[in-house]
Amino acid sequence: MNEKNYINFHILISHSPSNLNRDDMNMQKTATFGGTRRVRVSSQSLKRAMRTSEYYQENFGTPTDRTKQLTLLRNKYRELLKDKFTTEIIDDVLMRISGEKKIEDLQEKPVKGDDSKTKLKGTETGAVVAWSMTEVEKYCQLYQELQQQQPDSKTFEKAWNNAVDKKKIVNNKTQLSLFREALQNSKDIALSGRMATSGIMTNVDAALAVAHAITTHTVDGDIDWFTAVDDLNQETGETGSAHLDTTEFSSGVFYRYASLNIRQLQENLGDVGRQQALDIASHVLHMMATIVPTAKQNTFAAFNLADFAFVSFSDQPISLANAFENPIKIEGGFLAPSIKAFVAYHKSIYQAFGLNNDPQACFSTKDCSMEIDHCKGNDFIALKEWLKNNGE
């Protein structure tokens, strides 16, 4: 039986002209690899696109709230939990989780360095943190139960501190149970992890590592000079545009890679069985192959699906990005030669390190001639089923 702990996802996806991920200068994100310029889509962009996708919500439920706006979060959770808890309990629990002593209401405050401007300002945490409503609800429930059991404030505080002592979470069955039940409905935290520095919010080690996607070949960006024409202004005799601007764009074949630590995912979800982790992994594969960042999509509509996917179980994460360290040269396009280069590099690495016995499978819309037992041809659904069945 396959007991390998890591699942490696390798995806090749060709995007038509697009600008999927931009930097602070409104230019495409890039990276130098193999000494040449590649267009890049950051791992943060990919993970957010997956987390906020309809597919995620259909299969995992509502994603967590990632924010540092504690006042806005409080207002949202007050509304969502108003039928279960008082606002006093919700507010106090949020302060205890975040480590804040007070949550101020939104109010106009002057912008630093400009006395003529104001903006709405409330309490903020020090960094953007992943908040799970299920987790907050569980803490509110615990708070309410302890308050009923210990009406005296001093005994309540002692009982609360004993129940939620973060330093003793491994031995604290109450805290551990609350935490794991919450993550059952917060798969994005279980997958991507969470770093917390204050309060009783718990750190979570990520189970999923996602690489920045890069083009398999060198890319020189194009510039689109676009205009906005004022339809009514033409009646005055003006024929020029009312607005002129530029945006960079390009097209290319992107290599996406991610690695899933199965045992870490099981632990994050409360020591669930391997099958539940594999079911989640099959959804991760689907999102890696189909979900595209939304940036500038109303302009370019580069909603492209993957043409190639290779999945393997292994004892460690294994990226095959070096298949494209030497940039792919065009041969009737970049997709077919990219698949060819990947297949050749996979063969050399797996032979060199004795990995050919690792469970492996692939899907491809093109001829790929991979020398593995489970080549699913042009059937992506079959690849997902193979993964769910533990590579069998």
The per-residue DSSP string of 259-295 comes to EEEHHHHHHHTTS--HHHHHHHHHHHHHHHHH----T
Give dist(CA 278, CA 302) in Å, integer.
Answer: 30
Q: Tell me which long-range contacts 140-144 makes (C-beta under 8 A, separation of at least 24).
A: 140/81, 140/84, 140/85, 140/89, 140/90, 140/93, 141/84, 141/85, 142/174, 142/178, 143/89, 143/92, 143/93, 144/85, 144/89
Q: What is the pLDDT of residues 324-379, one digit of tens each?
A: 999 999 999 999 999 999 999 999 999 999 999 999 999 999 988 888 888 888 99
pLDDT per residue, tens digit, the chain (392 aa), is: 899 999 999 999 999 999 999 988 888 999 999 999 999 999 999 999 999 999 999 999 989 999 999 999 999 999 999 999 999 999 999 999 999 999 999 998 887 766 677 888 999 988 899 999 988 998 999 999 999 999 999 999 999 988 887 665 555 556 666 667 777 788 999 999 998 767 788 889 999 999 999 999 999 988 887 878 887 776 676 766 777 778 888 999 999 999 999 999 999 998 899 999 999 999 999 999 999 999 989 989 999 999 999 999 999 999 999 999 999 999 999 999 999 999 999 999 999 999 999 999 999 999 888 888 888 889 999 999 999 999 99
Q: Which contacts qualify for 220-224: CB closer than 8 Å, 24 or more apart?
A: 220/37, 220/250, 221/27, 221/28, 221/39, 221/248, 221/249, 221/250, 222/17, 222/248, 222/249, 222/250, 223/247, 223/248, 223/249, 224/248, 224/249
CA 147 to chain centre: 37
How far apart are alpha carbons 46 and 38 in whole angstroms? 17
Of 256, 300, 330, give the one whose Cα is nearest residue 39.
256
State percent of the chain over pLDDT 70: 93
Rounded Cα distance between 279 and 273, Å, is 10
3 state SS for 14-44? EEEEECCCECCCCCECEEEECCEEEEEECHH
Instruction: Please answer whether residues 135 and 186 qualify as being in contact, where contact means their C-beta atoms are separated by less than 8 angstroms.
Output: yes
Q: Which of 284, 303, 307 is nearest to 293 (CA)?
A: 303
Q: List the alpha helices (DSSP H) in the chain.
A: 43-51, 54-60, 70-80, 87-98, 133-149, 153-163, 173-184, 187-192, 262-268, 274-290, 297-300, 335-352, 380-388
Domain definitions of the chain by residue range: 6-62+209-219+253-332+349-388, 65-185
The whole-angstrom separation of Cα 369 and Cα 366 is 9
| Short-list 188, 57, 75, 209, CA closest to 132 | 188
pLDDT of residue 163: 82
* Predicted local distance difference test score (pLDDT) of residue 196: 79
Q: Are 213 and 255 in contact (CB under 8 A)?
A: yes
What pTM was estimated for this model as a whole? 0.91
φ, ψ of residue 327 to 5 degrees: the values are -55, 140
Contact between 119 and 107 under an 8 Å Cβ cutoff? The reply is no
Torsion angle, alpha carbons of 3, 374, 215, 7, to 10:
-10
Task: Look at residue 167 in the predicted model and tell me its pLDDT.
Answer: 63
* Residue 245 dihedral angles phi and psi, to the nearest 5°: -155, 180
What is the Cβ-side half-sphere exposure of residue 98, based on CA atoms within 13 angstroms?
A: 27
Structure tokens that stand for 123 in this block: 């309490």
Which residues are CB-neighbours of 50 under 8 A, at least 6 positions away?
56, 284, 287, 288, 291
How is residue 254 annotated by DSSP? E
pLDDT score for 166: 63
The encoded tokens of residue 235 equal 């009646």
- Tokens read off for 133: 């409503």
